[in-house]
Structures are given as structure tokens and as C-alpha cells.
Amino acid sequence: MSKNDGFSMVELLVTVAIIAIIVVIAIPNLITSKEAANEASAIKACRTLGSAEIAYMGSNNQQYTDIQTLAANNYVDSRFTNAAGFLGYTYAAGTVTNAVGGGPPPAGFEFVATPLTGGGRYTYGLAADQVIRYLGAVSGVAAPAGLSVGDPVGKR
């Protein structure tokens, strides 16, 4: 009579195969979840930039400014000026389609949140009208259902 002290090779292979199948299913969902979280953070960051511009304008004779000045005067975190970005996006002056009150400071402002590689799927923008707008998708990614470039985020 022999004593069984372990698992057979077949049992181990079946266990490894099951774990591999779970990983193959889970990884794409985790990546999509991370991108969605970064996109939500980018939208919130655009709102933060808009609020900072309004606060700056109220303190500076109804004049808008750029991100570097907002950061230098502590209206926003210095991470907004980081060329490497944060939370999957970079933030800079840019053109926002369909914006009202856009243009360069001091009369207006336009900021664009651009995703870093693997950071997000969509580009967003904000102008002086304080409306977050969808500006495009990363190459190979379809636009959100019902949105065109320049449409407000949340429009359905």
C-alpha cells in the first residue's frame, strides 16, 4: 500500500489552467477600470482648473491666467505643471471646440486634459464657460455613445 503525499501532475495542471483563465478574463477589466478612474480624475481636475481661474479672476481685476501662474500663486497644485502629468493625464492650454469665452488670457482661457499612454481613452477640455467638453478619443478607441467632439460631458 502506498501513501499519497501530494498532488498529481494532472491536478496541478488543472489548477494552473484555471488560474490562467481567470487572469486572462480579469486583466482587461482591470485596465479598463484604471482608465475610467483616470478619466474621472481628469474631469475633476478640469473642474479644479476652472474654479482656480474664477478665484484668480476675482482677485486680479477680472483677468484670467495660465496654469503656471495658477500653480505659482497656489491656486492649484504644482502637479498641473508637470510635463510628465499625473493620474494618467497632462494639462495645458489648448483649443476647446464649441467653447464660449475661450481664447488666451487675460480675456479667456482654454485648458485641455490629454491622456498619457495607457492613462485614459478620451481627451477633455474646459474654457471660461465652465463646461467640460469631450475633445476626442485615443487612436483605436471609439467615441462614447452619443457624443461628438465639442459636446459637453454628461450630455445624453
- The per-residue pLDDT for range 62-121, each reduced to its tens digit, is 999 999 999 999 999 999 999 888 999 999 999 999 988 888 899 999 999 999 988 899
What cell does 128 get? Answer: 471660461
Nearest-CA neighbor of 98 among 25, 148, 41? Answer: 148
Dist CA 63 CA 48 (whole Å): 17
End-to-end CA distance of the chain: 72
What cell does 46 get? Answer: 478640469
**What secondary structure letter does DSSP report for 94?**
-
**What secondary structure letter does DSSP report for 145?**
T
On whether the pTM is more than 0.85, the answer is: no
